[in-house]
Structure 1
Amino acid sequence: MSTTTETGELTRRVRERLAGRHPGEPVGDLRTLPGGHSGLTYSITAGQVSYVVKAVPPGQRPIGRNDVLRQARVLRALTGSPVPVPGLVTVDEDEPAWFAMEFVDGEAIEPVLDEHRLDPVLCRTRMLALAGVLRDLHGAAAEPAEPLDPAGELDRWTRTMRAVPTELRPGAEDLLSALAAGLPASVPPTLTHGDFRLGNVLCQGERPAAVVDWEIWAYGDPRIDLAWFLLFADHRNFPRLGRAVPGLPAEEELLAAYLDGRPEPPALDWFRALARTKMAAIMGHNLRRHREGRHHDPDQERLPPTIAAMIRTAGDILARRP
């Protein structure tokens, strides 16, 4: 946790940089934004304009989710593309590093998981629109980098799953073995978000206004994003957690919207199974942290039925593959 002195120094640096963009106008103080899971996230005003600031926590290394400069790079790469992202305003690479981006007003609501009173027709419209945004993301120009292939993605979530106590992940070892035995061939890599869903997109009315939370973006297999996005189309994938939303597009309709007449990518069922494995691993990790007292959240006790269902249905999907 940052100290008052450290926060004050960050505030000074941010205010000084923003003052140069708003000469003669008042610049406010940093205010912590709730809900962030990477680095430190603040809001600040300069004149009549609001900004969001993401910073490396003092004393922390800028790696993984704390690597805010990496997040700034992907925002810069997507500026001017069809993919809506917050505008990158300024970057300060001095330690601890930070960057500022435009504040985008909007709702980030996952229809089948979040408590909300949105019109089901609006939820349907947003989800179908987001399929087009995902297609645009996978078509965006990207500076070539070492790609994350299916084997690398499986390895990442295998490690996460195996850090979860075995009693919280029934059948996981058989599932991991089946996934490893059926590794698909790679396809040309693209930019991927890593957690692409409506809960990570600020919407204004029917329109996706800004894709946010780029902590785990990669240059990798687009089927990783696609299968993850499809997982959130059906509340029945989340026993005890999901809520029915009448008229929400099913996986097949979402997939058709994403493909827009193109053929379905090969081995998509393997990635559907991987998406469920990833969800089970993440939920198991969160439940473990709660039960160990590392992050008290009684709501995590609702997760076991969904963890078990994710593992079971992933195995069923793999079993039907030719």
Structure 2
Amino acid sequence: MSTLAETAELAGRVREWLAALHPGQPLGALETLPGGHSGLTYSVTAGPTAYVVKAVPPGQRPVGRNDVLRQARALRALAGAVPVPDVLALDEREPAWFAMEFVSGEAIEPVLDDHLLDPGLCRTRMLALAGVLSRLHRTGAPDLEGAAPLDPAAELDRWSRTMRAVPDELRPGGAELLDRLAAHIPAGLPPVLTHGDFRLGNALCVGETPVAVIDWEIWEFGDPRTDLGWSLLFTDHHNFPRLGREIPGLPTEDELLAAYLDGRPAPPALDWFRALARTKMAAIMGHNLRRHREGKHHDPDQERLPPTIAAMIRTARDILG
């Protein structure tokens, strides 16, 4: 079956589901939602009601970020524990897809996105989302317990491989940083459900309230400090030279950590995970820049990344002492 035919077949299956759910209502076409980096994401309407559909790209295997059914299972397991969209339909036939409610809201990363949000609102949202992360890490998600957990060593191995695939000149000091991280891997904490990219840019907010955490493509069972260290990166525009924008009054890392802990003691070895988060960011940015320069994904905006890559590596080494 051709890609065009597969897409049409997918649309027909979605419309069949909508027609049964909304008899007599006019059905809209599948409209691609921009911004996604995995699978295919569409919006579709039935009368006045809107839905989001995520599907495996035609002709591709449902693995990794394209495994949309894995995302749906996480969303269903988290329903009621943390704000996530409700999964309303799931179809395992190829190409697999699932449908969820369309949640209205703003997904804005204050220090990286262009926006006109009030700085006080940005601060309030970030502190509120830290509480959501805390709830996530205390959620058992029993329906997902069969997933193999990742410990700190496995996390470091994953991002070390990504970093080492980046040419040396694009990651100054990266090899030394990896060596220092490897020399001081902390003991793991009991694994919890982690999001993998937990930050305000992946949360839909209405007013001061996060109403839905989205983009669950890389969830894992792992060490809660991986999510925590990553989320702390986005409090300070100085972490992103040439990319970040100064927003006065954003919470400091200490304030965001206090909101997450809510009176509980701080976890041990958090600095190692703060350094790991910077390593992860440098590896991702270096990978994207390499693909651009090799002509695999033309995006001249990637040329703004070298100062931030260097800063991530430098500050990670500073954190490790």
Which TM-score bucket, shorter chain as reference? over 0.9
* In 2: Cα distance, 1:76 partner to 1:18 partner: 20
**1:3: Cα distance to partner?**
3.3
Alignment of 1:118-137 (within 5 A): 118-137=117-136
Distance 1:18 1:134 in 2: 33
Q: Which residue does 1:26 correspond to in 2? A: 26
Aligned-pair distance for 1:4? 2.8
Superposition TM-score, scaled by structure 1 size = 0.97
Q: Report the equivalent of 2:51.
A: 51
Distance 1:104 1:194 in 2: 21
User: What SS is found at the alignment partner of 1:232?
Assistant: helix
Aligned: 1:116 with 2:115: yes
* Equivalent residue number for residue 75 of structure 2: 75
- In the other structure, the counterpart of 1:155 is 157
CA distance in 2 between counterparts of 1:5 and 1:38 reads: 21
Cα displacement string for residues 166-199 of structure 1 (whole angstroms, at most 9, x for unaligned residues): 1100111110011011000011111100000000
The match for 1:233 is 235
Distance 1:316 1:60 in 2: 42
Shift of 1:286: 0.7
- The letter for the 1-side match of 2:172 is P
Alignment of 1:156-171 (within 5 A): 156-171=158-173
Cα offset, 1:24, TM superposition: 1.8
Structure 2 match to 1:245: 247
Q: Distance in 2 between matches of 1:108 and 1:290?
A: 26
Q: Which amino acid is the alignment partner of residue 152 of structure 1?
A: A
Instruction: Tell whether the 8 Å contact from 2:3 to 2:59 is kept in structure 1 after alignment.
Output: no
Gaps of 5+ in 1: none
Using the size of structure 2 for normalisation, the TM-score is 0.97
Q: Deviations over 1:9-54 (max 9, x none)?
A: 1100001012111122122111111111001111100121100100
Residue identity matched to 1:206? E
Q: Distance in 2 between matches of 1:62 and 1:4?
A: 18
Output the amino acid matched with 1:252: D
Name the CA distance, whole Å, in 2 between partners of 1:103 and 1:218.
Answer: 24
SS in 1 for 2:320: helix
Task: Name the CA distance, whole Å, in 2 between partners of 1:47 and 1:271.
Answer: 47
Q: Please tell me whether the aligned partners of residues 54 and 99 of structure 2 are also in contact (alpha carbons under 8 angstroms).
A: yes
Corresponding residue of 1:190: 192
Secondary structure (helix, strand or coil) at the match of 2:204 reads strand
| Other-structure match for 1:88 | 87
Write the letter of the residue equivalent to 2:276.
L
- Partners of 1:289 and 1:208 lie apart in 2 by 34
Measured in 1, the distance between the counterparts of 2:34 and 2:297 equals 16
Paired positions, count: 317
Determine helix, strand or coil for the equivalent of 1:89.
strand
Residue 141 (structure 2) pairs with residue 139 (structure 1): no
Take 2:205 and 2:300, find their aligned partners in 1: how far apart are those partners?
Answer: 30
Give the alignment partner of residue 208 of structure 2, picking from 206, 230, 239: 206
State percent identity of aligned pairs.
78
Runs of 4+ deviating beyond 6 Å: none
**CA distance in 2: counterparts of 1:293 and 1:115, whole angstroms:** 27
Offset from partner CA, 1:191-240 (integer Å, 9 cap, x none)? 10000000000111111011000010001100000000001001111111
- Report SS of the residue matched to 1:43: strand
